[in-house]
Structure 1
Amino acid sequence: MTFPSLASSPVPASPSSSFACDEKLSCSIEEFSVRSSDVDGERCLPTAVIATRHWRNYTPMRLLTRSFSYQHLPSLGSDSPDGSPRFPWQNAASRWRLGARWSLTRLMTIAITSFVILAMFTGHRYRPHRDHHHEEPEDEPGYDWMHFKRLNGYYNGVRTLVRPSEYESENRWNLADSPPAVPLKGSQLPLEPPLNPIVYSPYPNYTSSEYTSEHHPVQECFIDADDQVAIPDVYAYPGLPQHMSLPFYGSYKTLGLEENVCFERYGRLGPYGYGYDESHHGLGPGLASEKAGSEKIFDMAGHTDYRNVNWGQSQQRCYEKNKPRFEESPSGGKKKVARQAYVLRTWTGYKYTAHQIFTLRAMINELSLKSGGEYDVHLLLHVKDDSIPIWADKKVYQDTLESNVPREFWNITTLWSESLMMTYYPDPFPDNFVNMAGSSIHSVYRSAHMAIQWFSQQRPEYDFYWNWEMDLRYSGHYYEFHSKVGEWARQQPRKGLWERNSRFYLPQVHGDWKNFTEFVEKETTERDIPENDVERSGQMPVWGPLEFKNTGMLPHPEGTEPPRTYTEDNYEWGVGEEADLVVFNPIFDTTRTNWVFREDVTGYNRTLPIPPRRAAIVTVSRLSKRLLNTMHEETWRMRHSMFPEMWAPSVALHHGLKAVYAPHPVYFDRDWDPQYMNLRLNYPEAPHASPFGWGEHNMLGGSFYYNSAFSGALWRRWLGQWENGEGGRKQEEEGTGRLCLRSTLHHPIKYEDGPDDEPENA
């Protein structure tokens, strides 16, 4: 239970599968360690015991190749003096050396052991990788995609801004023609941005007759109780840095996002305390950074005073002012606006840096206060010490809260613990198929969904619950992204939806979304699949609740049975229906991968085949109240559960709920051939080659995945950070200025050191 007087809102975010190890621990490939990260930070789970019980989940051939496995990617290791990863895109001269630096004795031991294990346990189950297993010179890249040229247009700054009509992408899609010249020196460029910043407001015109004819009017909200501190605007530039790259998969146009503006750090974060000092109530970062032209933003925006702010009260006041918007109109004349909880998973011991505070302020201002109360932002705080009785004593609860969260966020925080979940969802949870993590079913690592299910039961007033993570960043406007994603998902038809969900959408390969839809339909229905082909039968279209052998299931929610047959439907069913689940990576069939957690399924009769499953890597998502209620009932009543990234998609699959993968734009650091990317991501040659398994190395150079290294590197360069020999104040001032990026969802961002930490000789 929660103490309403102590927290105005709360929900949990789920754990991602970020397999980065805590600096205090070490994982060795000899231990067959499973790399993992729970909600509360990174850790390594030694799995010697697990490995002996589940040898069939490993292929020792990976030890003999230059391609590394899902469990251990050397490219994520730390070899820099400060312990941070070093990535090739940060220095054109640097190369990834993927050969393991082992002694000859160790190599021979591992090789012999691997062959023995292979013969005893794996047989022909897995095929070795086909990619370049021959000997290569030590300075050659180890993965095929590393041979593609680095894209440098991301680092062109505000001095290269051009109007959309003048913009030319750097991408040549690995074709023969030479890429455009990318300016690296600033001598021929204007000293300041050639375009002026503009207020960026993606909200409906709340005062227009068009809006007020369908909705209740929106009452303006303020940060303070006296309605004196207005909510600041966000600023963007109405153009793009010349030769900036295009995204490789996903699409701005498809989701309805603006693609012809860019955001730099002062216009994006300045309204929340970035770029000015304490005398103006700022937090400090940005003072020593390149800032030519930024005074135009502060002249328009001023400096907002966030001292003494109480975000819980601010959100509550905004909701009360606009309460009629969220209620059914008795006369039926006005449309009800959905209420949404935006829940960020945090934990005791989490460090709230200035950059994290900028991000939280942006979310609250842009999602909640500027929208007239459509969202409430919550922190769901995992109390890692199970001996603290947060449910038994208000003072213990408050002391724990105050010692772990900055004051301004106290009243938007709700506390929970694993021991609380053990009480709420008590044992037994029998019949687990494979527990690869080796931890309790109530551990946050295996069942983070329990906390958000619990939260949705404590706070049932919301229509949707966003399950968000603390290491996500968005360079664009939060309201635009979330509202457009929700609107787009609502318009998606049910026909072919699960099949489209399972694929990466590459506009350079698939054309527009209509063409992609038709292509997937053709590919799905025109394959001749024998009825007795169990392995390929999962390729048949999903249409309504999925039937499978079981010894007990909940009844399906109302409205999930198809109104007509699959062939009779003309992409009508589902259009205008809110999505129960929205995710940001494809929803894949786990049986077609060697994803390490694919069989962590609990509570289903083990004398029957394991239930069909779907999963989406990175557990950030939007979940409907209907889906969370079903997940809750499945958990406490049926004692069913799965690994977090499988649970929500699989419940939606079983019960015929509407699940949607939103194809947001994702960038890569190299100029991939689109056809090659399509083959690698959508048509892996074998389960082990899937990007949702050992083929995950293909995602290292992207801007969004659980292990994307380029994402953090690009984000820190955008902040003006000196990173592995590039960036920093001096280079920006002498070159093209600070970076200006399109709206991009970045994950994971593990640290955000500011430009003030730049070496003196940078």
Structure 2
Amino acid sequence: MWIQESRLRWLSPRRRDKRWFLRLAICSSSIVFGTLIVLYLAELGPWKVDPPVPNAFAWQEFAALDGYYNGVRNLVPYLDHTPQNGYNRSLPLKAELTGLAKMPPLDPVKFDPFPDHTMRQHGNEYHSVTQCFLDEDETVAVPDVYVYPGLPQYHPEPLFGSYDELGMREDLCFDRFGRYGPYGYSYDDNLREHGLLNFPKDKTFGKLVGKDTEHEGSEKVFEQAGYTNWTGVDWKNAQQRCFEKNKAMFADEQPAGMQRVQRHAFVLRTWADYTYDQHQILAMRAMVSELALKSGGEYDVHLLVHIKNDTIPIWADEDVYQKTLQEAVPREFWNISTLWSVQQMKMYYPGPFSENFANMVDSSAHRVYRSAHFPLQWFSQQHPEYDFFWNWEMDVRYTGHYYELTSKVSEWTKKQPRKGLWERNRRFWIPEHDGTYQNFTTNVFQDTEVDDKKSNDYQQSGPLPIWGPVPYRGDDGLVPPSNGTTPPSSYEDDRYEWGVGEDADLIVFNPIFDPTQTNWVFRNDVTGYDLTLPIPPRRAAIITLSRMSKRLIDTMHEEVWHHKHTMFPEMWPPTVCLHHGLKAVYAPHPVYFDRDWDMDFLNQALNHPNHPEESPFGWGEHNLLGSTFYYNSVFSGRMWRRWLGFIEGKKEGKGGQGGRMREEAGAGRMCLRGMLLHPVKFEKELEN
């Protein structure tokens, strides 16, 4: 979810009679899930609780997977790799460590996810890319990332999604030195004192990270990458110089046979009192380097900074703006930051906003918790030069290369046909259960025919199958559908052709579900529509991490500005796509679990709940606590901190797991495939 604002509160008294069941749902779910998460934390860890706590969920009986924690001393070539998963047909393999060498048996190599050495020269189809540098004198090159060409033996397989389907590499892994070393990780104080690293010695940063962790063989990264001078880098100027060098490939008019390259704004959603530790700054350097500079200006990275103090007139006085900016953001990122406030959004999107169907947090439509899309819509109107806008949350981490992730996801979604797309979007693709994605597509098509005919004891929001814009009563005031959203043929006559080669207007990283088939507490947070008519059909995707086209975000802006329509942030972009016939796609990126789930059980629990209350997008959300990507995942943060070499669990007083001594005594530091991890709420070692 986007920036958290306040705890849930009772609805206003005038709605007490109409909304009592919603209040009950909120209070009950808060108590139940608070209790369940405590139980889960007690059970998830390798340490034990005394006295033992009974398992609260059936999935807690599945065996834990510990192959993630095998490290670089246990590397094998991909063809020799055996995943630990038994998929509950039998017990998973024991991740036994035998015959370990002192040093990693494989050497790190440079990872280059770009199409070729000129990055975009496919024959004469695209322009070649001119190299970009960090400094104006072009003496400091952008560093490369290094990977190990293999996997630790027994590294588990993901349960959702697929590297191969998305066109990503699955035969290599990233350790903390190869991934972050080129950006300043494990640089020592000597380098800092010689001006090669702008992590100041102060209470914010303390000692430099990485030097005190297990590091056998890490010198081979720096022998190849060297050390980069990160002092005084101006990211805005570096990005602008890179764009100017390569602007021909972004021009609207292209020579015959050449294709224009589209531009992306990669927007980090942060706020004034956010704590930027060294790990976060390393991640941000990686984003700018890999997305903007290595691509030749295909991306620009921005920080969109929420100033929570609405009394500061950041829109009225340049001196006030600059002072506020410098207090809110590290110096390194001043020039790529844009400030906004709720008060500013109230002026940009003036009310009145009419009554809503259900205001679950009892706050105004402008508060960030209910309308986090407002500032991104405003930002997009200030930057018409971009074709796409990525909404990136500050509690997301990625162990892999950013350009590989974003480019491959973009390419894959562009290839997807529209037929059956909304129906595929609503499910998790489980390769071990469903087979190939083509087989999954066929199965969904067959199930859709069944779902369309059977009766349900709750109302479905919208027709099945969905084909083009979905109208609803009272939609006369809607923005007219965009060109290209009307199906060129009937659903029956289409041969999975419409939509192929069409850029996705919305890319999300969790299924796009129908809220009416869940008890998700925000399913009725719909504002500005006629309350005398049925609530409009809608869709939602948990976690606002997404890519939005200019076409989509302009339509969202018009809906809010002209028609005063809005919804809860995780529901608004998918619903605008539904109403206007825009192309929305759930990208099946690899998602890992901490346990060896039974595949039939997993499919039933997540894709075919028996009742709305059992949906994973409601009270069944406990099923995703042990995943690497969900709004309330516990496993994601633990995985990240273990990968960084920290001890997890010391606070529980049982000695914890991981850390330097255990890594040195075992298989060394962790080495993971590219994993999208959410949420990661802190990056430090727990203390007793």
Q: TM-score range by the shorter chain?
A: over 0.9
Within a 5 Å distance, the mapping from 1:540-579 to structure 2 comes to 540-550=464-474, 551-579=476-504
Q: Does 1:242 align with 2:203?
A: no
Within a 5 Å distance, the mapping from 1:304-315 to structure 2 comes to 304-315=228-239
Per-residue CA deviations over 1:261-305 (Å, capped at 9, x if unaligned) read 000000000011101113223451001000000000011111111
SS in 2 for 1:74: helix
> Equivalent of 2:164, from 244, 253, 263?
253
Number of residue equivalences = 666
Per-residue CA deviations over 1:487-537 (Å, capped at 9, x if unaligned) read 000000000000000000000111001101111111112446279998257
Within a 5 Å distance, the mapping from 1:439-458 to structure 2 comes to 439-458=363-382
User: Unpaired runs of 5+ in structure 2?
Assistant: 200-207, 650-655
Structure 1, 602-611 or 543-552: larger mean CA deviation = 543-552
1:73 and 1:413 map into 2 onto residues whose CA distance is 36
Within a 5 Å distance, the mapping from 1:193-212 to structure 2 comes to 193-207=104-118, 211-212=122-123
> Equivalent of 2:657, from 686, 705, 726?
726
Q: CA deviation at 1:74?
A: 2.7
Q: Residue 70 of structure 1 contacts residue 695 of structure 1 at CA under 8 Å; is this kept in 2?
A: no
Q: CA deviation at 1:257?
A: 1.0
Q: Aligned residue for 2:203?
A: none
SS in 2 for 1:391: coil
Q: Aligned residue for 1:363?
A: 287
AA in 2 matched with 1:717? R
Structure 1, 534-543 or 597-606: larger mean CA deviation = 534-543
Within a 5 Å distance, the mapping from 1:99-178 to structure 2 comes to 139-176=53-90, 178=91
Q: Aligned residue for 1:121?
A: none
Q: Residue 529 of structure 1 contacts residue 536 of structure 1 at CA under 8 Å; is this kept in 2?
A: no
Q: 1:209 to 1:647 in 2, by over 3 A?
A: closer
Q: Does 1:699 align with 2:649?
A: no
1:252 and 1:739 map into 2 onto residues whose CA distance is 19
Per-residue CA deviations over 1:70-122 (Å, capped at 9, x if unaligned) read 87423545x9xxxxx95533324348x9xxxxxxxxxxxxxxxxxxxxxxxxx
1:195 and 1:322 map into 2 onto residues whose CA distance is 37
> Equivalent of 2:605, from 665, 680, 701?
680
SS in 2 for 1:342: strand
SS in 1 for 2:403: helix
Q: Aligned residue for 2:565?
A: 640
AA in 2 matched with 1:167? H
Q: Given the two structures, how large is their TM-score scaled by the length of structure 2?
A: 0.93
Q: Aligned residue for 2:675?
A: 744
Q: Residue 121 of structure 2 contacts residue 127 of structure 2 at CA under 8 Å; is this kept in 1?
A: no
2:119 and 2:577 map into 1 onto residues whose CA distance is 38
> Equivalent of 2:95, from 179, 182, 187?
182
Q: Residue 460 of structure 2 contacts residue 517 of structure 2 at CA under 8 Å; is this kept in 1?
A: no
CA RMSD of aligned residues (A): 2.2
Q: 1:568 to 1:48 in 2, by over 3 A?
A: closer
AA in 1 matched with 2:136? A
SS in 1 for 2:328: coil
Q: Aligned residue for 2:429?
A: 505
Q: Given the two structures, how large is their TM-score scaled by the length of structure 1?
A: 0.84
Q: Aligned residue for 1:117?
A: none
SS in 1 for 2:297: coil
Q: Residue 65 of structure 2 contacts residue 92 of structure 2 at CA under 8 Å; is this kept in 1?
A: no
Q: Aligned residue for 2:326?
A: 402
Q: CA deviation at 1:758?
A: 7.7
Q: Residue 531 of structure 1 contacts residue 537 of structure 1 at CA under 8 Å; is this kept in 2?
A: no
AA in 2 matched with 1:224? D
Q: Residue 151 of structure 2 contacts residue 171 of structure 2 at CA under 8 Å; is this kept in 1?
A: yes
Q: Percent same amino acid among aligned pairs? A: 54
Q: Does 1:74 align with 2:29?
A: no
Q: Aligned residue for 2:524?
A: 599
> Equivalent of 1:612, from 537, 562, 574?
537
1:455 and 1:215 map into 2 onto residues whose CA distance is 29
Q: 1:628 to 1:438 in 2, by over 3 A?
A: same
AA in 2 matched with 1:547? P
Q: Residue 214 of structure 2 contacts residue 668 of structure 2 at CA under 8 Å; is this kept in 1?
A: yes
Q: Aligned residue for 2:202?
A: none
SS in 1 for 2:101: coil
2:610 and 2:457 map into 1 onto residues whose CA distance is 19
Q: Residue 722 of structure 1 contacts residue 758 of structure 1 at CA under 8 Å; is this kept in 2?
A: no
Q: Does 1:290 align with 2:214?
A: yes
Q: Residue 368 of structure 1 contacts residue 377 of structure 1 at CA under 8 Å; is this kept in 2?
A: yes
SS in 1 for 2:570: helix
Q: Aligned residue for 1:274?
A: 185
Structure 1, 573-582 or 165-174: larger mean CA deviation = 165-174
Q: 1:70 to 1:636 in 2, by over 3 A?
A: farther
Q: Aligned residue for 2:438?
A: 514
Q: Residue 637 of structure 2 contacts residue 680 of structure 2 at CA under 8 Å; is this kept in 1?
A: yes
Q: CA deviation at 1:330?
A: 4.4
Q: 1:393 to 1:356 in 2, by over 3 A?
A: same
1:309 and 1:528 map into 2 onto residues whose CA distance is 57
Within a 5 Å distance, the mapping from 1:626-665 to structure 2 comes to 626-665=551-590
Q: Aligned residue for 1:192?
A: 103
Q: Aligned residue for 1:89?
A: 44
SS in 2 for 1:622: strand
AA in 1 matched with 2:149? P
Q: 1:246 to 1:616 in 2, by over 3 A?
A: same
1:400 and 1:62 map into 2 onto residues whose CA distance is 38
Q: CA deviation at 1:211?
A: 2.0
Within a 5 Å distance, the mapping from 1:33-72 to structure 2 comes to 39=3, 43-47=6-10, 52=16, 54-57=19-22, 72=33
Within a 5 Å distance, the mapping from 1:750-761 to structure 2 comes to 750-753=681-684
Within a 5 Å distance, the mapping from 1:357-506 to structure 2 comes to 357-506=281-430
Q: Residue 436 of structure 1 contacts residue 596 of structure 1 at CA under 8 Å; is this kept in 2?
A: yes
2:170 and 2:225 map into 1 onto residues whose CA distance is 23
Q: CA deviation at 1:209?
A: 9.8
Structure 1, 371-380 or 549-558: larger mean CA deviation = 549-558
Q: Residue 264 of structure 1 contacts residue 718 of structure 1 at CA under 8 Å; is this kept in 2?
A: yes
2:120 and 2:533 map into 1 onto residues whose CA distance is 59
Q: CA deviation at 1:459?
A: 0.6
Structure 1, 272-281 or 508-517: larger mean CA deviation = 272-281
Per-residue CA deviations over 1:345-401 (Å, capped at 9, x if unaligned) read 011111110000000000000000000000000000001000000011000000000
Q: Does 1:223 align with 2:134?
A: yes
1:595 and 1:140 map into 2 onto residues whose CA distance is 27
AA in 1 matched with 2:61? H
User: Unpaired runs of 5+ in structure 1?
Assistant: 1-15, 17-37, 80-84, 98-137
1:272 and 1:573 map into 2 onto residues whose CA distance is 43
Per-residue CA deviations over 1:9-37 (Å, capped at 9, x if unaligned) read xxxxxxx1xxxxxxxxxxxxxxxxxxxxx
Q: CA deviation at 1:665?
A: 0.5
Q: CA deviation at 1:552?
A: 2.1
1:210 and 1:459 map into 2 onto residues whose CA distance is 27
2:594 and 2:27 map into 1 onto residues whose CA distance is 26
Q: Residue 472 of structure 1 contacts residue 749 of structure 1 at CA under 8 Å; is this kept in 2?
A: yes
1:308 and 1:552 map into 2 onto residues whose CA distance is 51
Q: CA deviation at 1:206?
A: 4.7
Q: Aligned residue for 1:100?
A: none
